[in-house]
């Protein structure tokens, strides 16, 4: 029996975690700047509630009223608005998420992803793979063996989810 194992490498941007900061006395900031809540740091007043984290403790974006985006802007999943021209430009522009590059049309049309990206297969166990097209076409996925033979007995392919019970190597 021939088994095809796919390996994919997927990178994601980590969400920010607040650093451990010991509170310090509030610094005296120059005119036109504001102090961050903790630490000895000043940022320009224009950086307060601008949708980008400038303070090391992220306090410059706390308690900000969510303003609506204009029709020329895109709202990132984490809240701020960015220019619509930055959407789907192949570069992540949203701070701390990749939402401006999600659901974009790719030149290839198909963007197949297999989950899990790898797994240990042991004889007598069940193996499950999920494959889906995450590209703009959202094509239906069907598993086939490379040699044209049918899938192993008892296998099920349901909308790209391949289940192979009782693996025999």
> pLDDT digit string (tens) for 76-123?
887 788 999 999 888 888 877 888 888 876 556 677 888 887 778 888
CB atoms within 10 A of CB 98: 14
Q: How many structural domains are present in the chain?
A: 3
Which CATH number do you get for residue 49? 4.10.400
Same domain? 115 vs 169: yes
Whole-number pLDDT of residue 85? 92
Which CATH number do you get for residue 90? 4.10.400.10
Write out the residue range of the structural domain in which residue 145 sits: 109-169
- Mean pLDDT across the stretch 5-17? 40
Close Cβ partners of 157 (under 8 Å, ≥ 6 residues apart): 142, 143, 151, 163
Residue where the block lists tokens 């985006």 = 69
Pick the closest to residue 97 from 61, 52, 137, 47 (CA basis): 52
Same domain? 151 vs 120: yes
Let me know if residue 13 belongs to a domain. no
Between CA 133 and CA 131 the distance in angstroms is 7
pTM beyond 0.75: the answer is no
Phi, psi (rounded to 5 degrees) for 6: -100, 140
Whole-number pLDDT of residue 1? 44
Pick the closest to residue 93 from 105, 76, 108 (CA basis): 76
Let me know if residue 76 belongs to a domain. yes
Is residue 125 within a helix (H) or strand (E), and if so which, with residue range? none
CB-based contact 127:169 (threshold 8 Å): no
Let me know if residue 122 belongs to a domain. yes
Same domain? 169 vs 141: yes
Whole-number pLDDT of residue 72? 93
Q: Poorest-confidence range of 2-11, 50-59, 104-113, 115-124?
A: 2-11
Let me know if residue 84 belongs to a domain. yes
Same domain? 87 vs 130: no
Same domain? 149 vs 139: yes
- Mean pLDDT across the stretch 122-149? 81
Let me know if residue 11 belongs to a domain. no
Whole-number pLDDT of residue 11? 38
CB-based contact 39:57 (threshold 8 Å): yes
Same domain? 120 vs 167: yes
Let me know if residue 4 belongs to a domain. no
Give the end of a domain, one of 76, 104, 132: 104
Whole-number pLDDT of residue 5? 39
Let me know if residue 8 belongs to a domain. no
């Amino acid at each position: 029996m021939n088994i095809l194992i796919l390996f994919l490498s997927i990178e994601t941007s980590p969400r920010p975690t607040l650093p451990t900061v010991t509170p310090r006395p509030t610094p005296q900031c120059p005119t036109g700047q504001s102090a961050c809540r903790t630490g000895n740091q000043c940022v320009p007043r224009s950086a307060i509630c601008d949708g980008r984290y400038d303070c090391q403790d992220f306090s410059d974006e706390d308690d900000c009223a969510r303003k609506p985006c204009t029709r020329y802007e895109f709202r990132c999943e984490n809240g701020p608005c960015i220019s619509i021209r930055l959407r789907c430009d192949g570069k992540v522009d949203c701070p701390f998420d990749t939402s401006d590059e999600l659901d974009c049309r790719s030149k290839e049309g198909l963007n197949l992803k297999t989950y899990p990206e790898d797994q240990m297969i042991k004889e007598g166990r069940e193996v499950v793979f999920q494959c889906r097209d995450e590209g703009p076409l959202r094509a239906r996925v069907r598993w086939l063996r490379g040699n044209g033979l049918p899938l192993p007995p008892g296998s099920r392919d349901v909308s790209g989810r391949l289940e192979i019970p009782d693996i025999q190597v």
